[in-house]
């Protein structure tokens, strides 16, 4: 499974990139606004921090303007992935962009039928939202499972990019189902390394090592 950071905080992205565990980044208008920085500037900086795809989202709602915005965005860097909403205009834009080799992430997917349309439009990634489904009393992980079954049935190459990932259990279950990518806040990626028994083991080792009075350096 690939790990994408869902943030526009370049310091956090750089920190994760240094671990070698980061495969890409997703952004959206809300995350850019939270950063308080210029959209083009921060997107370019992020693209320089990872070799993986960096999703940059169009803000237009009609196909014609989406295409114009995509033309500007994909000139930022070779690893820009154009992010479009799962609407008819978004799918139309996806089809047009993928024809000339541009990576496209179709976002705001909340049903398996929508994911089927994204695959037929040639999307590189489809982003089904888990946490937002959970917030409304629906099991978001079932959506990931349904999409996996459909994509496997027809050998679609579109990658399932699990989004709105809230905690480590979401990541575990998505990995078991077979999601290709999980995009999540940096704190969730880092939390995957946490375990009380690991902490307890380190504590014991350090105590025993200190008792020897030795030093490696």
CATH number for the domain harbouring residue 91:
3.20.20.70
Q: Which member of 34, 68, 83, 187 is catalytic?
A: 83
Q: How many domains in the chain?
A: 1
Q: Is residue 217 part of a domain?
A: no
Q: How far apart are CA 16 and CA 23, in angstroms?
A: 10
Q: Is residue 12 part of a domain?
A: yes
Domain of residue 166: give its range.
Answer: 2-212
Is position 83 annotated as part of the catalytic site? yes
Per-residue pLDDT tens over the stretch 136-163:
888 999 999 999 999 999 999 999 999 9
> Would you state the structure tokens that stand for residue 10, as one six-digit string?
């370049």
Q: pTM of the full predicted structure?
A: 0.94
What pLDDT is recorded for position 134?
Answer: 87
């Amino acid at each position: 499974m690939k790990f994408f950071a869902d943030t526009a905080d370049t310091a956090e992205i750089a920190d994760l990139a240094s671990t070698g565990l980061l495969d890409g980044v997703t952004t959206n208008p809300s995350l850019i606004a939270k950063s308080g920085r210029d959209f083009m500037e921060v997107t370019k900086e992020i693209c320089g921090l990872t070799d993986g795809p960096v999703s940059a989202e169009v803000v237009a709602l009609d196909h014609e303007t989406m295409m114009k915005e995509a033309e500007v965005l994909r000139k930022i860097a070779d690893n820009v992935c154009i992010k479009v909403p799962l609407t008819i205009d978004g799918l139309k834009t996806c089809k047009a962009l993928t024809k000339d080799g541009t990576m496209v992430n179709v976002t705001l997917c909340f049903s398996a039928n929508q994911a089927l349309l994204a695959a037929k439009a040639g999307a590189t990634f489809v982003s089904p939202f888990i946490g937002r489904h959970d917030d409304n009393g629906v099991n978001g992980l079932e959506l990931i499972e349904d999409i996996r079954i459909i994509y496997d049935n027809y050998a679609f190459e579109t990658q399932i990019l699990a989004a709105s990932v809230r905690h480590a259990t979401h990541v575990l279950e998505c990995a078991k189902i077979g999601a290709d990518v999980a995009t999540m806040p940096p704190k969730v990626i880092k939390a995957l390394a946490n375990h009380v028994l690991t902490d307890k083991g380190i504590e014991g080792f350090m105590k025993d090592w200190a008792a020897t009075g030795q030093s490696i350096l």
